[in-house]
Amino acid sequence: MGSVEADIVIQAMSFRYPGSSVDALENVSLEIYPGSVTAILGPNGSGKTTLLHLLLGLLTPTRGKILVKGKDQHDLSRRELSREIGLVAQEDDFSFDLPVLEYVLMGRAPYLKLLQLPDDRDYELAVQALAQLGIGDMAHRSVTTLSGGERQLVTFARVLVQQPSILLLDEPTSHLDLPNTHQILQLVKAMSRQGKTMIFTTHDPNSIPGVASSVILMRAGRVIAAGPSSDMLSEELLSQTYGVEIEVHRSDQRTFVAVRDQSTYSAR
């Protein structure tokens, strides 16, 4: 990437959950650059969500370190980190009977002092975020009435109002139908074109072509490989990642990944 400074640098990082005898992540080193779209790809249990929680500062590395915009994450306050990194979670809490606009305004928390209420500018940003996502007409609906796709868009709006430069999305399309999946992935691309650094986890390699510029392949807490999407979506690397034999079909317009058969492939 030349002289461009990475937004995120992970240096020889490992993490072990308390009480466990093995590392959930082992010796991970990565660099993620501004304006890129990076997909973290791997089967369930490979450590994808754990990695996102470490980037957010919700977990602390057992070994190694994370740099955010050139600063040691350990030296950043929760408020400072929240201004740099936002998360669109796989499952958010929609059990409270809040209007959508009030829920989206929660994204302004990193900019408000204790007990400070949102002002007109905060409300303006929330309205703009809903309009940007094409859901301005939902502003006064209760979040408890939303469908899965609508919830994902509203969560996206809350994170946009947070105004981070780095957006993390945890399995953003896992519970969505095809139209909503397409809309979310197009939003990821659009945010990247606006200069945001986008990182999303997925277990589906078919959500990557045409969206992600880089891919991190993970299995059992280890990074199998990382690099440009075109290089990472190979039969050899995907077979290592998933532990089954994978075939990749390419044409001028698309790339499609499928399991060749159900026989176990020796991945290690």
234 located within any domain: yes
Question: Are 209 and 255 in contact, with CB atoms under 8 Å apart?
Answer: yes
Q: Domain residues for 236?
A: 8-259
Residue pointed to by tokens 């400074």: 5
Tokens of 98: 């809040």
pLDDT for 268: 41
Three-state SS at 114: coil
57 located within any domain: yes
Name the residue type at position 231: D
Torsion of CA 259, 174, 50, 96, to 10 degrees: -160
CB-based burial label for 53 (10 Å; 0-12, 13-18, 19+): middle
Residue pointed to by tokens 């305004």: 105
239 located within any domain: yes
- The enclosing domain of 126 has a CATH number of 3.40.50.300
Q: Is 80 left (phi over 0), alpha (psi -120 to 50) or beta?
A: alpha
pLDDT for 261: 67
268 located within any domain: no
140 located within any domain: yes
> What secondary structure letter does DSSP report for 54?
H
155 located within any domain: yes
For the chain, residues with pLDDT lower than 70 are 1-3, 261-268
136 located within any domain: yes
> How far is it, in rounded angstroms, from Cα 26 to Cα 85?
23
Find all residues with CB under 8 Å of 94, minimum gap 6, and list them. 103, 143, 144, 146, 151
pLDDT for 199: 97
Q: How many domains does the chain have?
A: 1
pLDDT for 177: 81
117 located within any domain: yes
> How far is it, in rounded angstroms, from Cα 218 to Cα 38?
13
- Please choose, from the candidates 73, 236, 42, 81, the residue with its C-alpha nearest in 3D space to the C-alpha of residue 168: 81
